[in-house]
Amino acid sequence: MRTLPRSPHHRRPHRQQVLAVAASLWTVFLEFGKAIPQITLILTSALVLIIISVVLTKAFTERIITIEGILVPKLLSENGYTSDVASQRLRDAALKVAEKRNIPNLQMVLPNELPNIVVPAVGISINTLASFLQKLLFSDRRQGISGDLTVSNGQLWLHLRKDGQEFYVSEAGESIETPDKLLLTAAPYVLKETNPYLFAKSQYTYDKDPEKALETAKRTIERFPNSETALWCYVLEGVIYHDRKEYQNAEQAFTRAAELNPRYAYTYLNWGFLLYDQGRPDEAIANFRRAIALDARVAEGYNNLVLGSSRKKPAR
């Protein structure tokens, strides 16, 4: 029986070859072992960067008002009415006013309630970095309220600042026995300063005072001309002018809102109602369709129009 010669692939490996391969594998294993700490460091660093990015993004985009501290005279602090107490009383008063005026989703916190993370390598906290970036970009999403209660001529007075700039001084003094009255009086001004659009909207819907609402909206646009807040105020102006049948002013307001942000659906929704009430259904439907394309949540407004029961929707 003939035996075919073995091909080179079928030859048995020599002992030296086996040892050489084993040595090579051992070398690779040792090198991999040396690289493990580096790989672990890289993966850990990447994970930390991801966590920091997520936290920083949240900190940068959230609208948070921090009552940083209300300084009080020694006479009050000695009786237990400390700076922390005054800060908490002002926060609670502002939140009560916000609830009463139906101002939603208001995040107003004290410094010790604001979670913070310090990056060990640079010694900078996430909140500090977020605040720096927001100030650099003129963002109003994170705001700090501070102030002081002072005694003058035997009466107590309140000064408040937002990000270091004074915006409120009590119009009249108060007895040193009743500091809470000053804080309660100041609470609406805190909301107006920190949430001007929502406050203007509440002036229109809660106070039923369109003139004051328009005044607040216009002043806000002047202060923050290219901001998201200005966009909302333009839409609010359009809604108010529409209700007053000042159609030209309303259309100008919606036009400015669209120029500021052409992708804000509620501009076109409210604009559509304006056009429909002017007897311009084709243009109205075009605006409704654009609104729906940008944000499907506004589809209800278009459906109401189709069903013949459309009603003007509040801004935003």
Say which CATH number the domain at 162 has. Answer: 3.40.50
Which residues form the domain of 51?
Answer: 16-56
For residues 182 and 150, the answer to whether their CB atoms sit within 8 Å is no
The enclosing domain of 232 has a CATH number of 1.25.40.10
Q: Look at residue 272 and tell me if it is in a domain.
A: yes
Other CB atoms within 10 Å distance of the CB of residue 188: 17
Check if the beta carbon of residue 177 is closer than 8 Å to that of residue 80.
Answer: no
Whether 311 maps to a domain, the answer reads no
* pTM, two decimal places: 0.70
Q: Are 235 and 254 in contact (CB under 8 A)?
A: yes
Is there a domain that residue 93 lies in?
A: yes
Question: 261 and 168 share a domain?
Answer: no
Segment 267-308, tens digit of pLDDT: 999 999 999 999 998 999 899 889 989 988 877 656 655 544
Clarify whether residues 240 and 150 are in a common domain: no
Per-residue pLDDT tens over the stretch 218-249: 999 999 999 999 999 999 999 999 999 999 99
Both 172 and 208 in a single domain?
A: no
Q: How do residues 63-120 score in pLDDT, each as one tens digit?
A: 688 888 899 999 899 999 999 999 999 999 999 999 999 888 778 888 776 554 444 4
Q: Which residue has the higher pLDDT, 165 or 314?
A: 165
Residue 1 lies inside a defined structural domain of this protein: no
**pLDDT for the residue numbered 119:** 44
Give the pLDDT band of residue 143 (cuts 50, 70, 90). confident
Share above pLDDT 90 across residues of the chain, in percent, rounded to a whole number: 52
User: Does residue 13 surpass a pLDDT of 60?
Assistant: no
Give the residue from 155, 187, 219 where a domain finishes. 187
pLDDT digits (tens, 9 = 90+) for 21-52: 555 655 655 565 565 666 665 666 566 566 55
Residues 222 and 275 occupy one common structural domain = yes
Q: How many residues does the chain have?
A: 316
List Cβ neighbours of 180 (8 Å cut-off, separation of 6 or more): 89, 93
Q: Are residues 205 and 221 part of one domain?
A: yes
162 with 220, same domain? Answer: no
Provide the CA 32 distance to its chain's centre, in angstroms.
46
Number of structural domains in the chain:
3
